[in-house]
Amino acid sequence: MSDSPATPPPSGAAPAHVSAASVRHFRYYDLVMAAFVTILLLSNIIGASKRSVVDLPFIGEWPFGAGVMFFPLSYVIGDVLTEVYGYARARRVIWTGFAALAFLAFMAWVVVALPPAPGWPHQGAYEAVFANSWRIVIASMTAFWAGEFANSLVVAKMKVADNGRRMGLRFVASTFVGQGLDSLIFYPIAFYGLEGWPTGELMKTVLSQWAIKTGWETILLPITVAIVVALKRREGVDVFDEGTDFNPFGARV
């Protein structure tokens, strides 16, 4: 088996249908991984803890987590990863993101705990922004792990079952499952019982997060499909997870 990069097909030709294990090197895999980890970290740093509200006609005020504006992009990239590069390579990226989240939590804890210099006036603000409780850290990492693996599994399984057809359907279905798990795990673990998070508002936030995230996937679907088609053409293959080990703790690609 050759370890050389996949050779793109002639212009206009369909990518070759290959098994996930038959290709060793890709041209853009590392760039997609970098985009995934970047969005994951930034959405957790900037928007995870802020609860916003919007006034909807006929409904009234409806709360949502501010991170929902950008975090769903990680699921879009997760769809791209699994669709183009296969479940095993997406699994590697998910674990990379998990490790990055763990380091983010550790670094935030160390930096916040360091005693501020005399006269430095921003310790309180720094703690308010970066001092996430261990509940939020555990909730974030658990929800990310479960949601992303569910998302990738649904894409891979539906692709094989449909023989590559109905790409848009599997992207939306995978996001519905993955983001549903993410929201159902994160918010109750992170905020249940805390001041400012009454149970009714918490469940509204869970439902709104689920709906908004799935809605984002639907809105961005034409862009997602266009990126997938372009990457498949440039990589020269169409990877199918036939015979793939779907154990999330597996290491083999």
pTM: 0.80
What the chain holds in terms of domains, given with CATH numbers, is: 16-115+122-240 (1.10.1760)
Please give the Cα distance from 99 to 37 (Å, whole number).
Answer: 10
What are 8-56's pLDDT values in tens digits?
555 555 665 655 555 567 889 999 999 999 988 887 777 666 667 778 7
Determine the distance from the C-alpha atom of residue 84 to the mean position of all C-alpha atoms in its chain, rounded to a whole number: 16
The answer to whether 139 and 74 are in contact (CB under 8 A) is no
Please give the Cα distance from 92 to 94 (Å, whole number).
Answer: 5
The answer to whether 208 and 54 are in contact (CB under 8 A) is no
- Residue 209 has a pLDDT of 78
SS3 of 62, please?
A: strand
* Angle in degrees, 0-180, between the axes of helices 134-161 and 72-85, rounded to the nearest 10: 40
The values of phi and psi at residue 157, to 5°, are -65, -45
